[in-house]
Amino acid sequence: MDVKILSNEDAAYLAGFIDGEGTITLSRKHKNENRQLAVTISNTEKQILDFCLQIVGAGKITRKRTSKIHHTPSFTYAIYNRQALTLLKQIKPYLRSYKVKRAKLILENYIALTPRNGKYTEKMLIQRKEFERLVLNTKSI
């Protein structure tokens, strides 16, 4: 699915939600894989995440495991890789937390340092690791 073109209001809403409840990161799905771009939002109100999925038009919602019986069930909306890049381009002007720095680094470098075929030269691997370090070390103070 393609990411929809967001209205300014929807882009600002999503940016605020991601600033407060979300994550912009590079994560691994499996231990030995390279990190991939992930934009996620976790919440106990699934209808809010359903709205996010509806306005973005891509991504998925999963139910998180509860570790204790008294914990409220929660859900995560997630979008990955190139679809996440398309979303970041639209919401970046509205981000206000440290996540704007992460989005900027990712938008400037992710495509060049992530070959579609997954084949990295030695130089690209070094650059990729440095890029990952810069992104993951960009945190709130």
pLDDT score for 73:
84
Structure token digits, residue 78: 């997630």
Assess if residue 2 is contained within a domain: no
Q: Is the pLDDT of residue 56 over 70?
A: yes
- CATH code for the domain of 93: 3.10.28.10
- Domain residue limits at 14: 8-136
User: What is the average pLDDT across 46-51?
Assistant: 97
| Nearest 10 degrees: Cα torsion 98, 133, 36, 10 | 10
User: What is the average pLDDT across 101-121?
Assistant: 91
Assess if residue 118 is contained within a domain: yes
Domain count, the chain: 1
pLDDT score for 115:
87
